[in-house]
Amino acid sequence: NAGVTQTPKFRILKIGQSMTLQCAQDMNHNYMYWYRQDPGMGLKLIYYSVGAGITDKGEVPNGYNVSRSTTEDFPLRLELAAPSQTSVYFCASSQLEREAFFGQGTRLTVV
Amino acid sequence: DQQVKQNSPSLSVQEGRISILNCDYTNSMFDYFLWYKKYPAEGPTFLISISSIKDKNEDGRFTVFLNKSAKHLSLHIVPSQPGDSAVYFCAAKVRDMRFGAGTRLTVKP
């Protein structure tokens, strides 16, 4: 029972590089979310999806893109990495009116 | 626009006593509320939740209270144990799910 799997766990990017953070869930959940957590802060919602083919912006979407071509996968794309995107990124999934399950996080550093 | 607020960054209690963590929200459309526990270098772990049609939900030592008129919820932990020491986040859902800034709970033996 894998739950929510995030890859990679750690990554260092140079300014201007791009990368994709992968997120996969095996619970057949309709809802998926991407959050970032800066040191000493709460979780800020970047993007979320209520089902395959549907995505919506959260609180801090600038600099990111997402897609949801399948129920299982919800990748987060950074096109032009900036130091302000240094953070820990968490992916989560849930059903409506139920708790969300989180992945272990991806620690990203942009230098 | 901070829709979910936890105004106490930290709380320290003695083992065996009650811990009360508070959370306020501004969006009256929220219909489901949750508490998560988080350890360093791990993802948040679900603790307990409550639907907006209820005012109380219990699960063992954990009870969540919801006061919709005041847009306020609280988490009570009784009795508190040293293993409860962690950061606690409240969250609120409509279609998306928003989090507060967290409260660091320390339970002293």
Q: Compute the half-sphere exposure of residue B65: CA atoms within 13 Å on the CB side of its CA.
A: 11
Mean pLDDT of chain B: 95
**Spans of chain B, pLDDT less than 70:** 1
Asked whether residue A96 carries a pLDDT value surpassing 80, the answer given is no
B48-57 burial: b if 16+ Cβ within 10 Å, else e: bbbebeeeee
> What is the per-residue pLDDT across A4-32, written as a single tens digit (0 to 9) for each?
999 999 999 999 999 999 999 999 999 99
Judging contacts by C-beta atoms under 8 Å, the chain A residues touching residue B49 are 99
Nearest-by-Cβ selection for B43 from A58, A94, A104: A104
For residue B21, the model assigns a pLDDT of: 98
Q: Domain containing B61 — which CATH number?
A: 2.60.40.10
The three-state secondary structure class of A85 is helix
Average pLDDT rounded to a whole number, residues A95-102? 88
> What architecture is the A4-96 domain classified under in CATH?
Sandwich (2.60)
Quick one: pLDDT at residue A48? 96
Could you tell me the residue range of the domain that residue B85 belongs to?
Answer: 4-108
Please report the pLDDT score of residue B2 as a whole number: 80
Q: Which residues contact A13 (CB under 8 A, 6 or more apart)?
A: A19, A78, A81, A108, A109, A110, A111
3-state secondary structure of B82: helix
Q: pLDDT tens digits for A26-85?
A: 999 999 999 999 988 899 999 999 999 999 999 999 999 999 999 999 999 998 999 999
Q: For residue A12, what are the CA distances in angstroms to A85, A110, B16, B90?
A: 11, 6, 44, 30
Question: How many structural domains comprise chain B?
Answer: 1
Using an 8 Å CB-CB cutoff, list residues of chain B that contact chain A: 1, 6, 31-32, 34, 41-46, 49, 51, 89, 91, 93, 95-102
Query: Which pLDDT band, with edges at 50, 70 and 90, does A1 fall under?
Result: low
